[in-house]
Structure 1
Amino acid sequence: MRRITTDPEAFDAFDALYRAHVDAVTRFLARRIDDPHTVADLVAEVFVAALDSSHTYRAERGGELAWLYGVARNILSAERRRAFKWARLTARISGSRLLEPDDLARMEEKIDAESAGRRALQAMAGLPKSERAVLELVAIDQLTVAEAAAALGIRQGTARVRLHRARRGLSLVMEGTS
Structure 2
Amino acid sequence: MSMPIAVAAGSAPGALGKAKQQATQADSTVAENWELVRAAQRGDTAAFATLYNRHVDSVFRYVLLRVGDRHLAEDVTSETFLRALRRITSISYQGRDVGAWFTTIARNIVFDHVKSSRFRLEIVTDEVAEPGTGPGTAPGPEQQVISRTTNDELLRCIADLGDDQRECIILRFIQGYSVSETAAIMQRNEGAVKALQHRAVRRLAKLLPRSIR
Task: Give the alignment's TM-score, normalised by structure 2.
Answer: 0.58
- The aligned residue for residue 84 of structure 2 is 50
* Counterpart in the other structure of 2:126: 112
- Structure 1 residues 18 and 118: CA distance shift in structure 2, 3 A: farther
Counterpart position of 2:71: 37
The partner residue of 1:15 within 44, 49, 60 is 49
- The aligned counterpart of 1:165 is 199
Which residue of 2 is the match for residue 95 of structure 1? none
Between 1:123-132 and 1:37-46, the stretch displaced more is 123-132
Report the secondary structure of 2:94's partner residue.
helix
Matched residue SS, 1:68: helix
Match in the other structure for 1:73 = 107
- TM-score, length-scaled by structure 1: 0.68
In 2, Cα distance between equivalents of 1:176 and 1:128: 21
Task: Work out which of the residue numbers 138, 142, 145 in structure 1 matches 2:172.
Answer: 138
Return the alpha-carbon distance in structure 2 between the equivalents of residues 58 and 163 of structure 1.
Answer: 28
Aligned length: 152
Is the contact made by 1:31 and 1:117 (CA closer than 8 Å) also made in structure 2? Answer: no
The farther-off stretch of 133-142 and 73-82 is 73-82
Secondary structure in 2 aligned to 1:62?
coil
Letter in structure 1 aligned against 2:207: V
Indicate how the Cα distance of structure 1 residues 170 and 176 shifts in structure 2: closer, same or farther if over 3 A, else same: same
Task: Name stretches of at least 5 consecutive residues in structure 1 with no aligned partner.
Answer: 86-109
Residue 176 of structure 1: how far off its partner (Å)? 7.9
Specify every segment of 5 or more residues in structure 2 that has no aligned partner in the other structure, as ranges. Answer: 1-36, 130-149
Higher helix fraction (1 or 2): 1
Report % sequence identity.
27
Which amino acid is the alignment partner of residue 128 of structure 2?
Answer: E
Task: Give the equivalent residue in structure 1 for 2:157.
Answer: 123
RMSD, matched Cα: 3.2
